[in-house]
C-alpha cells in the first residue's frame, strides 16, 4: 500500500501509523500498531479540509461517540478518539478482510446461504445498536466489513444519531444517507427511527443477492424518488435462484411505510432462522421442470370435428333433422305419432352438439396456450417486446397459430360474429401473451420451460393474496354473464358473485393499509350495491338506466375511491410539507445572500469625480419563492399514486401468474357464449 510520508510513523494516542487502508467521505483510514498492547488497530483521521468546518468535526466525533456506546462482535470496536498532532482521530479495531461492496464487485451475487448468514450477523449488530437507542442511518455494503473469519462487522457510524437527537434533525429538514439504500422517510426528510436501518438492510440483502441496486437512476434525486414512489422490483426476475421466502422477507423489509415493515431486527432474524436449513422454496425454479414431452402437447393441433351423420347432411349443423310427417289424406285417418322414431334423432343431435362443444373448448384452450407460448418465446423475461425482438419467428408463428385456432372456433358458432365473444377471445389472447412474457423465468430458459413454469406458478399461487383482484374480476364477469337469465337460481348466484367480488375489492385495497376509509364513499358503495341487488333480481334484459352490470361496476369504483382518496391526500400532504420546507430553505438562503450584498454595498465608500461621497446603489431584494400550489400538488400526487398502484398490481399479477388465470377464464367465458348460442339455436329449431 502507498505510505504517505507526512503520516507514516505519526503516533496518535499510542498508535503508530503504518500504511493507508482506504479513503472515505470524511477522511482516511490507516493501519496502525498499538504499541502498549502490541496489536494492530485502525486509525481514522478527519481530512484537514473538512476539519475547517465545525459541523464536519461534530459529524466525525458523533461517529466515535455512537460507536463507543456499542460492544458487539458484529460492530467494529472504538477504543479511543480525540484530537492530537493537529488532527481529529478515531482508534478502532482492525479487521483483516474486505467490504461487502468489494466482495460483490469481485464475485458477483452471493449464494443464498452465504448472503443470509452475512445479513443475520448484520441484523444482530443492528439489534444491539437499536437496543442502545443508536440508529446507524447509512447501512450499505460499503459499511459492512467481512473478515477472514467470515464475521460481518458494521462500520462508519458517522451519520448515526441517538433517538433523543432525532427531533432536532427532523426540524432541520436534513436528508442524509446513501441514495441507493436510503429509506423513503429519509428521502422525505421525515422522522427516522430504527426501521430505516431495517429498510437499508433489506436493500443491502437485495444487492448482495443480485449484484444490482433495487433502484437505479441517473441522479441521486431520481433514485430517491423511486425509493419513495415505486414498488420494489421482483428479485426473482433478476436472480431466479433466490427462494420465495427470501423474496418475501426483502419485500416486507422494503415497504414504503415503516409500520408495514418488520419492527425489530430480532423479528427478521427469527424469519431467517426458519429457513436456515432450506425448504422447498429455496430450490431454484429452473431445476424443477424437465418435461420435454410438453412440447408436443403445445404444438399438437386439436382433433378435427367428427364428420356429420348422413341424416344431417342437409340440415343446419347445430341440430338434427326433424322429418315432419306428410299431411294426412282427406279420407284417411291421421297417422299415429311415432315417438320411437324421433328419440334416436334427438339423441344424435345432443351427441353432435356435445361434440361441437368439446371441439370448441379444445380449440379455444389450445389457442390460449399458443399465445402463452408466444409470450414465453422471448429470451429476456419480464418484457412484452422481448418475444418480438428476440425471437420474432417463434412469437409471430405461435401467435398466428393461436389466431387461426380462434378463427376455427369462430366457425363453429351459429352466429359467426358477436361482439361479446370477440371481446373475450381477444382479451384471452392478450392476457395469455402477457402472462407468458412477464413470468419470472430464469434468464435464457427455453419456451416450453417458461410455459410450464407459468402454469405451475399459477397453480401454486391459487390462494395467493396477490390474486384477490383476479378473483374479483372473475366473479364480476361470471355474474354479468348470468344475471339476465330468468332462472331464479342463476339470479341468486349472480347476486352472490357480485357481492363476493365487491367484498374482494374492499379486502384487496384495505389489506395492509392504516388509512381510514372515507365514510362518504363507503355509503355510496353500499347504496350502489343495494340498488345492484334489486336490479339483478328484477331485470331480465339489458337496460341502460337500471343495469346491474354498470351499477356493480360503479360500486367497485366507489370501493376503490374509498381507499384511494385518503392515500392521495396523505401523499399530497407529504409533498406540500416537503415543498414548503424547500421554499423556506431557498428563501432563507436568498435573504442571507441579499443581506450580505447590502452590507457589502454599504461598506464600500464611493466618490464622484469631484471627490464627493456617493450613496451606494443597493441590489433589489430577492423575490419570495412560493411553495407549490395545493391543487397542482394533489394532481401530481394522484397521478403518482395511480402509476404506483398500476405498477404494483401489474407486478403482483406477473409474479403470481394471476394474469394467466384471467386468460384461461376469459377463454372459458368465450365457451359460455358459444354454448349459449348453440342451445338457443337448438331451441329455436325445436319450436319450428
pLDDT tens across 634-670, in order? 888 888 888 877 776 666 666 556 677 778 888 888 8
Domain assignment present for residue 323? The answer is no
Whether 406 and 364 have beta carbons less than 8 Å apart is answered as yes
Domain count across the chain: 4
Residues 565 and 640 in one domain: yes
**Helix (H) or strand (E) segment spanning residue 42:** strand 39-46
Domain assignment present for residue 304? The answer is no
d(CA 179, CA 217): 10
Residue-wise pLDDT for 663-675, tens only, equals: 888 888 888 888 8
pTM metric for this prediction: 0.42
Domain assignment present for residue 329? The answer is no
pLDDT of 341 = 42
Residues 497 and 484 in one domain: yes
Residues 515 and 642 in one domain: yes
Residues 54 and 147 in one domain: no
Residues 267 and 121 in one domain: yes
Domain assignment present for residue 221? The answer is yes
Domain that holds residue 30: 11-94
Domain assignment present for residue 171? The answer is yes
pLDDT of 121 = 92
Domain assignment present for residue 310? The answer is no
Residues 394 and 514 in one domain: no
End-of-domain residue from the set 283, 301, 324: 283
Residues 510 and 450 in one domain: no
d(CA 208, CA 111): 9
Domain assignment present for residue 639? The answer is yes
pLDDT of 177 = 55
Residues 63 and 112 in one domain: no
d(CA 457, CA 296): 21
Residues 72 and 166 in one domain: no
Going from the first residue of the chain to its last (688 residues), give the mean pLDDT of each consecutive group of 10, the final group possibly shorter.
Answer: 59 85 78 86 85 81 78 86 83 86 91 92 91 86 88 74 39 54 85 89 93 89 88 88 90 91 91 70 42 46 46 38 46 48 47 80 91 80 76 88 90 79 87 79 66 67 64 80 81 88 80 69 88 87 80 87 82 86 88 82 71 75 85 86 75 65 83 81 61
pLDDT of 307 = 47
End-of-domain residue from the set 249, 266, 283: 283
Residues 220 and 361 in one domain: no
For 291-346, give the DSSP string: -TTHHHHHHPPPPPPPPPPGGGTTS-TTS----PPPPPPSSSPPPPP-HHHHHHHH
Residues 537 and 453 in one domain: no
Residues 116 and 76 in one domain: no
pLDDT of 451 = 66
pLDDT of 685 = 58
Domain assignment present for residue 307? The answer is no
pLDDT of 264 = 92
Amino acid at each position: 500500500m502507498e505510505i504517505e510520508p507526512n503520516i507514516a510513523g505519526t503516533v496518535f494516542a499510542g498508535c503508530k501509523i503504518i500504511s493507508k487502508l482506504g479513503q472515505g467521505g470524511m477522511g482516511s483510514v490507516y493501519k496502525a500498531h498499538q504499541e502498549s498492547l502490541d496489536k494492530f488497530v485502525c486509525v481514522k483521521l478527519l481530512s484537514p479540509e473538512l476539519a475547517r468546518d465545525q459541523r464536519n468535526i461534530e459529524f466525525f466525533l458523533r461517529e466515535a461517540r455512537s460507536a463507543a456506546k456499542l460492544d458487539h462482535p458484529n460492530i467494529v470496536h472504538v477504543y479511543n478518539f480525540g484530537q492530537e498532532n493537529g488532527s481529529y482521530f478515531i482508534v478502532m479495531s482492525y479487521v483483516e478482510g474486505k467490504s461487502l461492496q468489494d466482495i460483490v464487485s469481485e464475485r458477483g451475487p452471493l449464494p443464498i446461504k452465504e448472503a443470509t448468514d452475512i445479513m443475520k450477523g448484520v441484523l444482530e449488530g443492528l439489534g444491539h445498536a437499536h437496543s442502545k437507542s443508536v440508529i446507524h442511518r447509512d447501512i450499505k455494503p460499503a459499511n459492512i466489513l467481512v473478515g477472514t473469519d467470515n464475521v460481518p462487522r458494521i462500520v462508519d457510524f458517522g451519520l448515526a444519531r441517538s433517538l433523543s437527537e432525532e427531533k432536532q434533525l427532523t426540524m432541520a429538514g436534513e436528508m442524509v444517507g446513501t441514495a441507493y439504500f436510503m429509506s423513503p422517510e429519509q428521502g422525505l426528510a421525515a422522522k427516522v427511527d430504527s426501521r430505516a436501518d431495517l429498510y437499508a438492510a433489506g436493500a443491502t440483502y437485495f444487492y448482495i443477492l443480485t449484484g444490482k441496486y433495487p433502484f437505479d437512476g441517473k441522479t441521486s434525486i431520481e433514485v430517491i424518488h423511486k425509493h419513495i414512489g415505486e414498488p420494489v422490483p421482483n428479485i426473482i426476475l433478476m436472480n431466479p435462484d433466490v427462494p420465495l421466502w427470501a423474496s418475501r422477507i426483502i419485500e416486507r423489509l422494503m415497504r414504503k411505510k415503516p409500520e408495514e415493515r418488520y419492527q425489530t431486527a430480532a423479528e427478521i432474524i427469527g424469519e431467517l432462522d426458519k429457513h436456515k436449513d432450506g425448504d422447498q422454496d429455496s430450490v431454484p425454479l429452473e431445476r424443477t421442470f424437465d418435461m420435454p414431452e410438453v412440447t408436443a402437447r403445445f404444438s399438437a393441433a386439436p382433433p378435427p370435428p367428427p364428420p356429420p351423420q348422413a341424416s344431417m347432411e342437409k340440415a343446419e349443423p347445430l341440430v338434427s333433422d326433424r322429418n315432419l310427417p306428410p299431411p294426412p289424406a282427406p279420407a284417411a285417418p291421421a297417422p299415429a305419432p311415432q315417438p320411437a322414431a324421433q328419440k334416436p334423432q334427438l339423441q344424435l343431435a345432443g351427441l353432435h352438439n356435445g361434440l361441437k362443444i368439446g371441439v370448441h373448448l379444445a380449440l379455444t384452450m389450445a389457442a390460449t396456450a399458443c399465445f402463452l407460448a408466444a409470450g414465453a418465446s422471448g429470451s429476456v423475461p419480464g418484457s412484452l417486446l422481448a418475444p418480438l425482438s428476440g425471437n420474432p419467428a417463434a412469437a409471430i408463428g405461435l401467435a398466428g397459430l393461436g389466431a387461426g385456432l380462434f378463427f376455427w372456433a369462430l366457425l363453429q358458432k351459429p352466429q359467426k360474429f358477436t361482439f361479446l365473444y370477440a371481446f373475450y377471445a381477444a382479451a384471452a389472447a392478450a392476457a395469455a401473451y402477457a402472462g407468458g412474457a412477464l413470468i419470472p423465468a430464469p434468464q435464457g430458459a427455453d419456451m416450453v420451460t417458461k410455459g410450464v413454469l407459468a402454469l405451475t406458478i399459477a397453480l401454486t399461487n391459487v390462494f395467493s393474496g396477490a390474486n384477490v383482484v383476479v378473483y374479483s374480476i372473475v366473479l364480476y364477469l361470471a355474474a354479468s354473464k348470468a344475471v339476465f337469465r330468468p332462472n331464479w337460481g342463476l339470479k341468486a348466484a349472480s347476486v352472490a358473485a357480485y357481492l363476493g367480488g365487491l367484498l374482494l375489492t374492499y379486502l384487496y385495497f384495505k389489506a395492509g393499509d392504516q388509512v381510514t376509509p372515507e365514510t362518504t364513499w363507503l355509503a355510496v358503495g353500499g347504496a350502489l350495491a343495494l340498488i345492484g341487488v334489486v336490479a339483478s333480481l328484477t331485470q331480465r334484459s339489458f337496460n341502460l338506466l337500471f343495469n346491474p352490470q354498470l351499477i356493480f361496476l360503479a360500486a367497485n369504483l366507489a370501493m376503490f375511491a374509498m381507499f384511494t382518496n385518503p392515500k392521495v391526500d396523505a401523499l399530497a400532504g407529504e409533498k406540500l410539507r416537503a415543498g414548503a420546507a424547500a421554499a423556506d430553505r431557498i428563501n432563507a438562503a436568498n435573504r442571507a445572500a441579499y443581506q450580505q450584498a447590502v452590507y457589502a454595498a454599504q461598506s464600500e465608500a464611493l466618490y464622484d469625480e469631484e471627490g464627493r461621497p456617493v450613496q451606494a446603489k443597493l441590489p433589489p431584494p430577492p423575490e419570495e419563492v412560493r411553495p407549490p400550489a395545493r391543487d397542482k400538488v394533489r394532481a401530481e400526487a394522484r397521478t403518482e399514486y395511480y402509476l404506483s398502484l398500476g405498477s404494483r398490481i401489474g407486478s403482483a399479477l406477473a409474479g403470481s401468474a394471476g394474469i394467466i388465470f384471467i386468460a384461461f377464464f376469459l377463454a372459458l367465458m368465450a365457451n359460455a357464449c358459444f354454448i349459449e348460442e348453440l342451445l338457443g339455436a337448438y331451441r329455436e329449431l325445436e319450436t319450428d
